[in-house]
Amino acid sequence: MMDQLTRQFFTDVHSQDRDRRYEAYQYLLKETQEPVGWAYEVWEELLTLLSQGDNHERSIAAQLLSNLAKSDPERRIVRDIDKLILVTKDERFVTARHTLQSLWKIGVVDLVLQELVCQKLEARFKECASEKNATLIRYDIIVNFNKMYQQFQDETVKQRAMMLIGLEADPKYQKKYSAVWKR
């Protein structure tokens, strides 16, 4: 059950006051770093915000849903991941990018979700080639793979990332993406 303070911060996500909204965002991200018991109290509202909220609400909703994957024993995220992937194509690139950068948090919950996220990110890597910010999208995807690899040390994740890097035609960007694995 969500406590009153958390409920207030969740309400403040909709605030037109930037400082209040940002404080709510920071609080909720911190709260959802660990599993919470109230995920399903807000799940459907977050899904609605992915498509009906303003750019700030879409970004916050996507990041919170990614964080809430660890609080999802019903595995709703499996059903809803395509809604998150859709936000990685948002008209506001910063919203799309924040969403993309949070997807690894789903993939580190367990190996089944890791496989699902890998599949979705592989498809996104391949399809984004003609998009305006393709190199940034691809970079973020490779970072997602690296973060999932760090969690489970699953060599297949690393191999998949290397395969994607090999699809990049420009040697300059191949080098940039490969550098993620040398840190």
CA dihedral 94, 123, 117, 162 (to 10 degrees): -100
Q: Are 167 and 174 in contact (CB under 8 A)?
A: no
**pLDDT attached to residue 183:** 74
Structural domain total, the chain: 2
Question: Mean pLDDT of residues grouped by 10 in the chain (183 residues)?
Answer: 96 95 97 97 97 94 98 98 98 97 98 97 97 97 98 96 97 97 86
**pLDDT attached to residue 53:** 87
Q: Does one domain contain both 33 and 123?
A: no
**pLDDT attached to residue 83:** 98
Which of 102, 131, 153 terminates a domain? The answer is: 102
Task: Report the 10 Å Cβ neighbour count for 166.
Answer: 11
Q: Does one domain contain both 68 and 156?
A: no
Domain enclosing residue 181, as ranges = 111-183
**162/159 Cα distance (integer angstroms):** 5
Q: Does one domain contain both 26 and 115?
A: no
Q: Does one domain contain both 60 and 121?
A: no
Q: Does one domain contain both 136 and 92?
A: no
Of 46, 31, 43, 45, residue with least CA distance to 99: 46
Which of 50, 80, 102 terminates a domain? The answer is: 102
Q: Does one domain contain both 152 and 177?
A: yes
Q: Does one domain contain both 123 and 93?
A: no
Q: Does one domain contain both 97 and 168?
A: no
**78/117 Cα distance (integer angstroms):** 9
